Structures are given as structure tokens and as C-alpha cells.
Amino acid sequence: MKTVLRRTGYILLGLVAIGLSLWGSPAIWYTEPVQHDGLRLGLATGFAILGLVGVIACFLGRMTLLMPFGAAVLIVFGWWSSIDPSNDRKWEPDVAALPKAEINGDIVTIRNIRNFAYRSETDSTPRWYDKTVDLRKLDSLDLIAVYWMGDAVAHTIMSFGFEGEHIAISIEIRKERGESFSTIAGFFRQYELYYVVGDERDIIGLRTTYRTPPEDVYLYRVNARKESMRRLFMEYINRINALHDRPAFYNTLTTNCTTNIVTHVQAFSDQLPFSWKMLASGYFPELIYEMGALSQELPFDELRSRSLINTRARRADGAADFSRLIRIGLPAIN
């Protein structure tokens, strides 16, 4: 019996060593403890080799051979824990200004709302403005899903309507100058988390009209009580203020555009069941439909096809009533 338990323990320890190896090597490569590519590759490769030896040691029951890998893990964890997010870097212009909100009862003043004038995705005139909203006038909520690489992956955005005036909030990475997004790098503390508070002419129009190729943008009108909309909006506002004071890292799996929406919703409601559709973000609108929070008058596939707003958005580009124009003809909520 003791032999079986010991053997089982070795196997479990070996599985842990495999997991640490798969995490540690890319963490060293992407998080760049040293700038020299050759040296960084050597460190990542060395960690992987020590991990392989450690895994073999576990399955052979030779624990002394595991010690070098254990020491390497402690060193990497120590270094990893010392990596802190920052609001003080050389940022790309579209994320240069950090939003912040001032709350006075029902009145919320939001600073640094983005409304760039785009000529192309990479050529724009920066425009930021402040806006004061009255929570008592919050009367609509929309879920925006953006697709660019198939049906399984989408970027999700929430838009809050105050008697026809809309504020969209998009959870993204805060890119440094010259930086581009990598899904794998997003697991390894490469990007700060950023909440873009924007005019719909910017956040939607950029994606439908100025990106090459254009992204497919769907706008779903959400059926929610005013109190729920207000609490969700304030969840966003409180998070925005928290990030202004204390930055945090983006994570491809755990802290992304969709999982953060789920976290905000679950902060005041237990009606959002856990589902794989939270991770496969392209199916998140379907999950919301299954909960009854989108129009039920149409099958979801038809609702989805009628919620595509690219043509409307391109026609309304630059219009003062952009938000009204893109909603004409959309399926109504129940």
C-alpha cells in the first residue's frame, strides 16, 4: 500500500513539474528578464531541460535529481513576483489618456472619453473629452461583439445609454509605443489592463470602417432592469478608478474583455451560470440569449444576422447621431 501511495505521489509531482516547465520557459522568453535574445533563449531552454530532468526524476522516484529544477522554480517565482504593472510608460496615442470618474450621488463625471477622428487605423487625430451623466437617466444596455478570426473568438464591449446618449466601454490592453498584441504573450504579464471609455463613433467606427480588413460588429440590445444596468455601470466605473490608482495586468485567459464583463455582472447577480461560452468569447452573446436577456422573438441565428451593423456604421461615419443611426432596424428587446 505504501508503495502504491508513494508511486502515486511521484506521478502527481511529475505532473506538477510538467506544468511548471510549460509555464516557466515561455514566461522567461516573453517577460524578458534579460534583453539579449540569445541569453534569454538560453535561460528558457535551460529551464526546460531542468524541467525535463525533474519530470524524469519524479517518474523514476529519484528525488535528488529534482532538486536543481526545484531551485530554478524558486528563482523564477521570485523574479516573477517582482514584476509590477505601471501607468508610467510610453503609450500608444489611443491609450495615452487614462480614464477616471468623479462620483457625486447620481451624477458621474467621466474624464478622458476617447473620440478620435480616424483617417485610417494608424492615422488619426486624438480627441478626448469629459462627460457628465445622470444615473437616473440610464435606460439602455447593449452588448457589442466584434469578430475578426472566426466564430469562436470575439471582442466584447458594453455600451450604456443615457436617454439616447451612449458611452461604450471596451476592456483592452494598454499598448506601449511600437507594441503589438500576442495571445500567448498575454499570459505572461506583458500588457497592462486598460478600460477604453469611448464615443461609439470611435469604438465601433474604428472597427467597421477603418481597420483593414474590417471587423464584423454585432450590436445586441440587452433586456435588463434599470437597477441592474446602474449597478453594472458603477462596477465599471469603480474598476476604472481602481486602475487609475493601481494598475493591473491583462491576462489572455483570466482577465480579458469577456471574463471581466462576467466578473462585473456576477458582482451583483448570481443569474449568470458558468459556461464554456465565457471562455470561447465568440459564443458569449449566445449565452446571454439563452438566459433570456436578448430578444426571444427570433431564433438566435436570425437575431445574430440582423444584429450586424457594419453597413449602418459605415453609412453613419462621422454623423452626430451615429448611435441612433446604427440602431435603426435592430431587433427590439422584449
Among 72-86, 148-162, 224-238, 279-293, the range scoring the smallest mean pLDDT is 279-293
* Radius of gyration for the alpha carbons in the chain, expressed in angstroms and rounded: 23
> Each residue of 199-238: pLDDT tens digit?
999 999 999 999 999 999 999 999 888 998 999 999 999 9
User: Please, are residues 326 and 161 in contact by the beta-carbon 8 Å criterion?
Assistant: no
7 vs 146 pLDDT, higher one: 146
Q: Where are the beta strands (DSSP E) in 153-312?
A: 154-162, 165-174, 192-198, 216-222
pTM of the predicted model as reported, rounded to 2 decimal places: 0.87
Report CA 76 to chain centroid distance, whole Å: 26
195 vs 32 pLDDT, higher one: 195
What is d(CA 273, CA 283) in angstroms, rounded to the nearest whole number? 14
The domains of the chain are located at: 2-81, 93-327
Q: 73-77, 79-83, 85-89 — which one is most confidently predicted on average? A: 85-89
Q: In degrees, to the nearest 5, what angle opens at C-alpha 187 toward C-alphas 50 and 154? A: 145
Q: How far apart are the first and last CA of the chain?
A: 63
> Shortest CA distance to 138 belongs to which of 215, 237, 49?
237
3-state secondary structure of 296: coil
269 has pLDDT over 70 = no
292 has pLDDT over 90 = no
- 208 DSSP 8-state letter: I
189 backbone φψ class: left, alpha, beta (φ>0; ψ -120 to 50): left
> Each residue of 251-262: pLDDT tens digit?
887 776 666 566
| Bond preceding residue 213 cis, omega within 30 of 0 | yes
Mean pLDDT of the residues in the chain: 88
